[in-house]
Chain A
Amino acid sequence: MNKEQLLQKYLDHSLTEEEKVMLEKEIKENPDFQRELEEAFDVRKAIIAHKKEQLKTTFKTLEQPKKPTFITKFIPYGVAASIFISILIVAYFLTNSTFSNEALFSENFEPYRNIITPIERSEARPHNKSEEYVAFYEYETGNYETALLEFTHLYESEKKSYYLFYKANCELQLDKIDLAIDSFLAHQKSNDTFKEKGKWYLALAYLKTNDRAKCKIILKEIIQHKSYNYVKAKNILERITAN
């Protein structure tokens, strides 16, 4: 048994009597080893604590969409009811346009294809693959919730702008429109190859939230620069302007 294995078994409290004797011997012969053991103990505790923090954040994220909103939790029922009635009145006047925005969105939206990591579709579940591979595997197989978690984590740790672009795509697909808009806007600050594509998706996100004004501004910009999907952009612009 080598020194490394002794150290790992010491950390696991799984040394046999014989191994304990070996460890004692090693410490006697090499006084630095004692310090090494203490350091290893702290490093393990620290890494585990760090992983625990990450897990806690992940679990909170899993619960987030179902949490009661501020409005349902804190605003008294009377106020909530009056808000509801107001929404109904506004919705009554907006029905036609809301419907067509929604329809236009569905007609035009599909998450941007994975052009980063080729995925082997035959694989049941990626094993021993990088986090990036797993993220794109989930993305391609339509498991957007898990893909979102992976991209969020990857973007936080590596800050590569394309992770943010795919994260935003997941959010848009999962109907987390406000988050998607924030992510696409943040992504616009980067200068990667997805920047023009990001504009197209941002326009779609605004369309989905019925923010026609912002949607039009971006569509016009896409058309003017003949950038990604400008023909489709022209079509949408004509239809929302005519409505």
Chain B
Amino acid sequence: MNTNFSIEDLRTGNNRIYSLLYKENKEAFYSYARKFTISEEEIEEVYQDALVVFYENIAEGRLTSFESSIKTYLFSIGKYKIYELLRRKKKIVSTITLEQVENIENLTHWNLEENVLDEQQEKVKTAFKNLGKRCQRILELFYTENKSIKEIMHLENYENENTVKAQKSRCMKSLREMITNKS
């Protein structure tokens, strides 16, 4: 039933891919989560957080090959998030360790809390948002999707590898200028 996506696909953070994952796993996750004393709004929040955390870990290179299905990963993160929520609400007194959550063993080196950006990274993010589409794309391909210069050349129809390198340098230069001008 679940759509097969490669790690490469998932690293893109593409809205369409993640919308499909969202729809495909929602019902099963909600049925599971309803066993706990948490509201529908909380389930929605937990589920959305789980998908975002899943993307973040994939984009940071923490998953190099699938040991279980995407659904299992999402459930493991989601379960951790539910336990965290219950603990905050003091429904579970003791601190839950990762091992206590079913299926969590394959996530031991994952970061299950959302990363917070430091001041400099916030500036980079703002500048990145203001870059042109083509620049955003080349930087995404190189810095988060780990594509080689040659792969970028083919994917984005550049003439040769040197053009890719030159374009990437220009984009980084614009990014740096925007950061300096803002601060």
Contact = CB atoms under 8 A, between A and B. Distances in A.
B149 to A, nearest CB: 6
Contacts of B61: 11-14
A45 B15 CA distance: 18
Contacts of B64: 14
B124 interface: yes
9 contacts: A45-B115, A46-B122, A47-B139, A48-B144, A52-B52, A58-B19, A60-B48, A128-B155, A134-B16
B125 interface: yes
B125 A46 contact: yes
Tell me if A's interface is mostly helix, strand, loop or mixed: helix
A158 B133 CA distance: 8
A11 B61 CA distance: 8
Interface size class of B (residues with CB under 8 A): 35 or more
A182 B142 CA distance: 38
Interface string B103-121: 0000000000011010011
Contacts, number: 107
A42 B48 CA distance: 25
A149 interface: yes
Interface of B: 13, 15-16, 18-19, 22-23, 44, 48, 51-52, 55-56, 59-61, 64, 114-115, 117, 120-122, 124-125, 128-129, 133, 139-140, 142-144, 146, 148-149, 155, 172, 175
Given A51-B144, A62-B23, 17 more contacts: A5-B148, A14-B61, A43-B172, A44-B143, A44-B144, A45-B121, A45-B124, A47-B139, A48-B13, A48-B59, A48-B115, A56-B48, A56-B52, A59-B48, A146-B19, A149-B15, A157-B133
